[in-house]
Amino acid sequence: MQQNTDTEKDLRLRELDAMCVNESHLQHKWYHNLKYLVVGVLFGIVFVKAEVVSWFRIQEMFRLQSFHMYGIIGSAVVVGMISVFLIKKFNIKTIYGEPIKISPKTFNKGQIYGGLIFGFGWAITGACPGPLFAQIGTGATVIGITLLSAIAGTWVYGYLREKLPH
């Protein structure tokens, strides 16, 4: 019983921001995580080869000087939408036979305030969190400091969370 309450509390905490919910209830050995490493590697290669991680591309995007980033994000969303639609329509299961579940996002004002703050940071660093990892991989070691600073920003958010308007 105690175990159950703990799990429930844990889920609620993770649900505070929808991105943190792991829907799978299966337990696996650690090496099952290598699948995600492989997807990450492929994803990182695309990021670098399509210059999504380029500071210059982000500057072009925010100055409306190039269609490139709009094309990438737009076509990624279209492909993602079609995929999610097909997964729901045909009840596609995971490779372990679990039904696929996607948690909905609930609105709070943080999406506006936080969104604007992230937008400021995105235009300065020319990177959202994913590209930070890829940029370090390309040898720009100093971006490791930017990443540490982003982790610090996340920590400070957690620290101040109760006092911020949501």
Partner 1 sequence: MIEFLKQPWPWYVAGPLIGLTVPALLIIGNKSFGISSSLRHVCASCMPANIPFFKYDWKKEVWNLFFVFGIFLGGAIAINLLSNPNPVEVNSKLATELAGYGITNFNNLVPEDIMNWQSLFTLKGFLMMIVGGFLVGFGTRYAGGCTSGHAIMGLSNLQWPSLIATISFMVGGFIMANLILPFILSL
Residues 44-73, interacting with partner 1 (CB under 8 A): 44-56, 58-63, 65-69, 71-73
Selected from 3, 4, 5, 42, the binder of partner 1 by CB under 8 A is: 42
Q: Is 13 in the site for partner 1 (CB under 8 A)?
A: yes
Shortest Cβ 97–partner 1 spacing (Å)? 11
How far, in Å, are 5, 54, 106, 110 from residue 162 at the CA level?
23, 35, 18, 12
Contacts of 137 (CB under 8 A, 6+ apart): 44, 48
Q: Is 8 in the site for partner 1 (CB under 8 A)?
A: no
d(CA 142, CA 68): 26
d(CA 112, CA 82): 27
Selected from 1, 75, 90, 163, the binder of partner 1 by CB under 8 A is: 75
User: Binding to partner 1 (CB under 8 A): which residues in 86-115?
Assistant: 86-87, 92, 94-96, 98, 100-108, 110-115
